[in-house]
Amino acid sequence: MSRILVVDDEFRIRQIIRKYAEFEGFEVAEATDGMQAIEVCRKEDFDLIIMDVMMPELDGFSACKEIRKFKQTPIIMLSARGEEYDKIHGFELGSDDYVVKPFSPKELMMRVNAVIKRTNKSNNDLSKNDVFTYENLAVDFSARIVTINGNRVEMTPKEYELFFYMVKNKGLALTREKLISEVWGYDFFGDERTLDTHIKLLRKSLGEYSRCIVTLRGVGYRFETL
Amino acid sequence: MSRILVVDDEFRIRQIIRKYAEFEGFEVAEATDGMQAIEVCRKEDFDLIIMDVMMPELDGFSACKEIRKFKQTPIIMLSARGEEYDKIHGFELGSDDYVVKPFSPKELMMRVNAVIKRTNKSNNDLSKNDVFTYENLAVDFSARIVTINGNRVEMTPKEYELFFYMVKNKGLALTREKLISEVWGYDFFGDERTLDTHIKLLRKSLGEYSRCIVTLRGVGYRFETL
DNA sequence: ATCTACAACAAGTATTCTGCTCATTGTCAT
DNA sequence: ATGACAATGAGCAGAATACTTGTTGTAGAT
């Protein structure tokens, strides 16, 4: 279940948000100012942060800015009506939404759900991570190493390239043309069956994980975490 | 540059939004009620729709619901303060955000920019997350996966192509000729009954959702979210 | 010289498409 | 309402297509 960090100096506000959030099934943690929020975020991971703008010690914007330096956790800012400039600032600093005080708890929870839904959707990208793992399969792109159950899997260059490309685009249907042009190069005019042959070899290398390479008849192949 | 459709019955409101939106470099079109909005949306593509909830003829929710049957354009709803139920409703109907009236133009424009930025992101970036969902039916075009109640539906290539084409053109009457030439190719000279056969197979695969494929006697078929 | 990786090819296999027939349903005129 | 007619749905089997696998020749690396 998703974890939420509520940052506000007023006990009353934290209490209300906690009540509603827990009712919706979220796990709630609290912090009373920006400094605390940063500290907690360093130690733990949250799915969402709800943060007030006006706080003692360190205000919401500065905290938001700081947290963004090491975490990409979505943030919803709470600001008093009229703080127009602040709102814009908050958005630009990387918050994902904001709610004007006084807010209705229902409205807040709707936005919470919307943001969480949104981030879950686009969180599958592994562009930052240099290693991909799934169960006992590990693919280290930069080291060019594939291991299954901790054992190194030896692959030929073409196998690596083909496999890496597929893993990097996991979950996507990759057409034969796409695979050929990406792995062999756009100027490959070789045999149609060459791709199949390499898929076969790759599957052989992958052993039990060959099931992750799904044939899409008439289209191509897809790597997926079944 | 992005195109925005503003739907509101009050001239004053449209005027204000137009002014701000054009200042931000958007191209603005207008409609005065839900019916008009639907008609315009059928003919043209917008990057965003800003729609009031309370309108004569056809209210914003109904219009939103209707437009979602054939377009995925993001929608920001404008609702009067206190219409809490309505807000939730709007979100569930597929609107992407909402702004409470009376709104500050700056706040509105911020949300406009946020929504457009968001949709551009998910469209351009690696996650070409192109999925259509309706109740418990999910169609992921880029992964080439169809699920019903979370269970994968296996389909043959032709079924996928036919289904994807119909879903992408949901709500539209598709003639037999159109379907044949789009899915089989303009140079298909096969039997008349071939299309029927595949529609039959597709319906079988879709189980309960076969109801979404409506026969238009003497014309062709239509996929719709009943 | 030997070995490895790769492309090409061919045979084998599984899946899917299509064309046919007959049954059913919807539509229109009477 | 009823019947005739046209359009669509269902089932099935052969044909066609697409993928898998095994083998082989060759080029480049060691």
Q: How far apart are the first and last CA of chain A?
A: 22
Q: Which of B110, B117, B120, B141 to mutate to test the interface with A (most CBs of A within 10 A)?
A: B110
Nucleotides of D under 7 A from a protein CB: 7-12, 17-23
Please say if the pLDDT value at position A107 is more than 90: no
Nucleotides of C under 7 A from a protein CB: 4-10, 15-21, 26-27
Residue pointed to by tokens 């315009």: B40
**What φ, ψ does residue B133 adopt, rounded to 5°?**
-130, 145
Task: Calculate the alpha carbon distances from B52 to A126, A197, B37, B40, B115 in Å.
Answer: 39, 58, 11, 16, 17
- With an 8 Å Cβ cutoff, are B144 and A219 in contact? yes
Please say if the pLDDT value at position B93 is more than 60: no
For residues A36 and A44, the answer to whether their CB atoms sit within 8 Å is no
- Residue B136 CA distance to nucleotide D7 C1' (Å): 32
At residue B84 the predicted structure's pLDDT band, cuts being 50, 70 and 90, is low
- Phi-psi sector, B109: left (phi>0), alpha (psi -120 to 50), beta: alpha
- Evaluate if the CB of B197 falls below 7 Å from strand C: yes
What span, in angstroms and rounded, lies between the C-alpha atoms of A62 and A59? 6
Secondary structure of chain B: what % helix, strand, coil (to 5)? 45, 20, 35
* Alpha carbon B130 to chain centroid, angstroms: 12
What span, in angstroms and rounded, lies between the C-alpha atoms of A188 and A199? 17
Dmax of chain A from CA atoms? 70
A23-37, A124-138, A194-208: least confident range: A124-138
Chain B residues within 8 angstroms (CB to CB) of chain A: 84, 87-88, 91, 97, 104, 106-107, 110, 114, 118, 121-122, 125-129, 142-144, 156-158, 160
- DSSP assignment letter at B208: G
**Residue numbers in B near A82 (CB within 8 A):** none
**What per-residue confidence (pLDDT) applies to B123?**
45
Dig out the tokens for A50 from the structure. 């709800």
Q: How far apart are the first and last CA of chain B?
A: 34
**What per-residue confidence (pLDDT) applies to B205?**
93
pLDDT in tens, B98-141: 777 777 787 788 888 877 876 665 443 333 457 788 888 889 89
| Domains of chain B in sequence order | 3-124 (3.40.50.2300), 131-223 (1.10.10.10)
**Residue numbers in B near A167 (CB within 8 A):** none
- DSSP assignment letter at A104: -
Nearest CA to CA, how far is A152 from chain B (Å)? 29
SS3 B54: coil
Please say if the pLDDT value at position A126 is more than 50: no
What span, in angstroms and rounded, lies between the C-alpha atoms of B170 and B156? 20
